[in-house]
Structures are given as structure tokens and as C-alpha cells.
Structure 1
């Protein structure tokens, strides 16, 4: 996990893997489990440091730390803790596999992961998927999805988004092409949207979207709402949201995971853990701006016990 400048979880100073391994072993030995000690260590170490603790634990005790955690913890506390013990790209790979395994596919997870990751993150998670499952991610996506939605995901999986500056003439040309591919014709040319949304840099797309509003008198997000349906619409809108502000996209997903009756714990855990070292501070700021309450407050009202403590420790107050 690259430690981003706006993550809530940072590498601990004066880190000592051996001491941490001892604390964790003691927290799980004998009767009862000291969850507070486990939370205190794991929520305050970077993902790279947790990998070192895992290794040290095995060499000190001949035991698998992840297996021990699994047998000592339960329910959502177990889920969030195990998620934290995975290298970032492996956690992404496992999230995708879980979304496609068994009957039915959880398209929302495919969209959330593939529409929001950088080129480097896509390449890393593809590699991790191959190593962990001895399967090809692209083949799995192709067999689990269909039509234009499948094409969108396969395009994203190439991790070939440009990372260059802004070409205003190209933005003007492509804003017109998007308008002509959608609102300005009968039927929709989805492939034109696909080509532009997946290959252009975020800065380039932002310029294109600004010019689109001048031509169409509505934004691209609304145009996609009108022109597309189901998963394709959701996927393309996710890309547009991320161009505008990736933290805003995640703030919205977090809010939806907790509002109303019941909590979508899988989504809550996935986003909190996967953004913790990247941009969770920015996500928190957007959350407060959009919903007039802090992410911490919402978690507090929605979760309980040690699970709540762990999430709050990661999110930071």
C-alpha cells in the first residue's frame, strides 16, 4: 500500500516488529482475547509494517498470525482485521474474486474497484489475482459480465489510462463526440463513451466534461443517466464521479453503506481499509461537507463493540 499523503493510517515511528508480535501473541494466549491490544497494534501500523509483524510472528512462534486472529476474533471484527492483514493489491484481488464466485455476481464491487483504481493499482491487482487464484482476472470478468458493461470493465482492466496534460482542442472535439454519441442522436453509441472515459487522463476528462456542459446544457453524469441503464450506467457514472473527485465518490458509497436500516458491512470495511493509507482524510472531509456529520459519528451510531473501535481507530477522529 503506497502511503498517500492523506491517509489516516501512517507507518509507526520506532517500529519494532518483534515487540508487536509479542503483544499480539500475549493478547491471544490462554483464555479470552485482549481485543483492545490487537486494535491498538494493528490500527496504528502501516500495511507494510503489518506484513513484517506477520513474518516475525511466524519466526518467533511457528504460528500463522492470520490464522490465530481468525480463530480468536469473530464477525465483523474478524472481517476488518483480516482485511487489514492483506497487502492492498491482494485485498483488491480477493474482493473481486468474492464478487464473482458462486451464483450471481456482485457488479457493484466490480465497479467500485475497477472504476476507481490507478493504472499501477490495476496492474498490481491483476498480478495478485493470478498468483493467489491461478486464474486470469480478465477471463473471469468476461465470463461473469456481458455486453457494453463487460467491454467497459475489460477496457479498465488494461490499466492504460493516459497520464499526460490537457489538450484543449482534443477536449472540445471529444465533448462534441460524446454529445453526438448520446443526446444528439437516436440510440446511443456506447463505444464512443467507453473509448473516451477509459483512455483519457482525469485532467483531460475534466476539461472535456466542462466543455460538454456548454454544448449540451447538462453535465455528462446526467447524460449517462439518461442514455445508459443498469451496470453500464453505474460504471460510467463511477468514472465520472472519480474524475470530479475520487474522495467524493467514496464518501457517497460510505454514506449509502450506513444510511437507513442495517449496514452494508462489506462495503464499509472494504472502503475504510482500502483507502486508509491513500485518501481517507480527504474522504472524511468530503463526507462532512456532503452530509454535515463526521464519518466517525456515523460509524459510531451504526456499529458496535470492538468492530466499531477498530473502524474508529483506522478512521481516526
Structure 2
């Protein structure tokens, strides 16, 4: 039985206009899939292609049903069984697919804060791009998985104005209506200008209040008005007036408001560009966005980098790991 926070998360997602590559499998049979996965792991060797065929063609809700049916039929945990058979990045991708989305985000956040050092980029990617209902579900999943309070961990693992930004986001106070008040946009634009470009030093509290509480349509109107007031873009001002993790967090919110697909396209590109591959980010973005907006991200990726996302992944990964990622992406023309 799905936890209450997962049910709330699904209901919130159902209200969104989604553009994911992963849809519900029409002829879905959880028991047949569970049995096929069991057979793929029996005997000498593992049938990785069968595992990929099933997991890369079922949406997350169906995967949760397969997990439950596997335990009912065979008395074993599907994730544990697969982990004993698989290795490396392929294992990591499979495990990510079998977590419910808020549980997966909670695990990513915990890994980003556990041990020595903190991976602020992971925290920013998740906290600065999720909607209120998603964050509430992540907080509940975090508590259920780790018996810890997410807001308290964010506060203890970060500092300064960046800490205040994250704690504010975790409080889930963003207006999520579609309404735009042009007068308010003009007023907020002037406040942002007065708090940054028009003074010595920066009043981060004003940036924090406006960026964290206004709905994204309202923020887009504010950013347009800002260019008229300041004579430059809000991104230019943030780059001039802030630095470090706070700057990265502010820019993530701006990009999320303007065109979230561009933000995630950049994250994917950066994970593969240069020497080596940031496989954690590559898996996290593809898996977490596959049922939300991966179609838009693919389009944004092609426009920005003049080459398809699937082509990049094809060249940058290998083996079964490559196959499962490409199975989620569904090619460059879909």
C-alpha cells in the first residue's frame, strides 16, 4: 500500500500539464511483470535486456505495483534481488526507477548532506525546482526514510543567506496560482532594483522574499518589468550582486520560472561535457523528469546544443547503463 505522501504526490502531479517520455503501459499486468523479472534473475547470468524492457516502459506508479506484487508472489524484495544481480551505474539507475519520486528525491538530498562536505548543487537542483506539494511529500519521505527533519538538516548543513533561502523554500509558502498582477510585478521589480543594483551591497532578504513566495507566472512578469527598471536582466543583476551557492540558487529559481526545461537541459549537458561523466546527475535528471517534462527538456537541449540528448547519452555512456537511459529518453525525435 502506497504511503499517504506518495498518494498526495500523485494527485498533485495529475493536476499538472505533463510532457514526459514515460507513460503508463497500456496492457499492464503487475503479476506478469513481476514473474518476468524473477525469471530474468534466475539461473546462470542475468537477462538485463528483459529488466530494461520492463522497467524502462512502465511509469513509476506501475513500478510500485510490480514491487508490491513481487513481494506478494515470491516473498522477496524486488530492489534487493536486483541489487544482488546488477552493478555500477546500471544498478544505480534501476534502483532510482524503483523508488517513488519523493522517496528518490529524499534519498538524493540525504546523500548530498551526509558525510564530509555537502553537495549544494544537488540540493539546489531539487529544492529550487519542485512545487509545494512535491516538497511536502519529500519532507514526509525524508522523515519516513531517515527519521530526520529535512528543514533542520538543510539549516545545519548550509549557512548564511543560502541557508535562509533553502529554509524558506522548505516552508512551502509559494503562491501557486496562475494569476498575474502587473502592478505588483512593477512594484516587485522596483524593490529588487532598490535591493541590489541601486544600493551599496545587496539586501538578500528582499530577493529571498520575492523569489520564494511569488508564483512563477508572476515572477516572469516581474522579470520583464525589471528589465525596464534596471536596464538589464534579472540574471545580470544576480550575477553582479551575489556569488557562490546563493547566486546558483537564485538563478535556478529564475530559470525554473522562465523555462524549467532550459535549466534541466543545462544540467544534463554539464553532466556529460568535458572529461568524465557526472553519472549521479545524469541519472537523477533523466529519471526524475521522465514523467514530467523530459520531452520539453529534449527540445530545449537540441535548440541549445544543436545535438539531441539521446545522441549525447549514446556517445557518453555504455552497456546496459546506456540502454536503460536511452529507454527512458525514447530517442531524439519523440
Smaller-chain TM-score bracket: over 0.9
Task: Name the counterpart of 1:48.
Answer: 61
Q: Which runs of 5+ in 1 are unaligned?
A: none
Task: Name the counterpart of 2:310.
Answer: 296
Task: Name the counterpart of 1:135.
Answer: 148
Matched, 1:91 2:99: no
Task: Name the counterpart of 2:4.
Answer: none
1:215 Cα deviation from its structure 2 partner:
1.1
Aligned equivalent of 2:24, options 6, 11, 15: 11
Cα distance in 1 for residues equivalent to 2:228 and 2:132: 30
Aligned equivalent of 1:269, options 283, 288, 300: 283
Q: How many residues align?
A: 317
1:9 aligns to what SS in structure 2? coil
**TM-score under structure 1 normalisation?**
0.99
State the Cα RMSD in Å: 0.8
Alignment of 1:1-317 (within 5 A): 2=13, 5-164=18-177, 165-317=179-331
C-alpha distance after superposition, 1:7-63 (max 9, x if no partner): 101110121011101110010001100000000000000101011111111111111
1:5 Cα deviation from its structure 2 partner:
2.9
1:159 Cα deviation from its structure 2 partner:
1.4
C-alpha distance after superposition, 1:130-154 (max 9, x if no partner): 1111100011011000110000000
Cα distance in 1 for residues equivalent to 2:22 and 2:42: 27
1:123 aligns to what SS in structure 2? helix
Cα distance in 1 for residues equivalent to 2:71 and 2:149: 30
Cα distance in 2 for residues equivalent to 1:196 and 1:60: 52
Greater than 2 Å deviation, 4+ residue runs: 1-5
1:249 aligns to what SS in structure 2? helix
1:178 Cα deviation from its structure 2 partner:
0.3
C-alpha distance after superposition, 1:201-233 (max 9, x if no partner): 001110110010011111001100010010000
Cα distance in 1 for residues equivalent to 2:54 and 2:176: 37
2:221 aligns to what SS in structure 1? helix
C-alpha distance after superposition, 1:172-225 (max 9, x if no partner): 111001000001000110000000000000011101100100111110011000
**TM-score under structure 2 normalisation?**
0.94
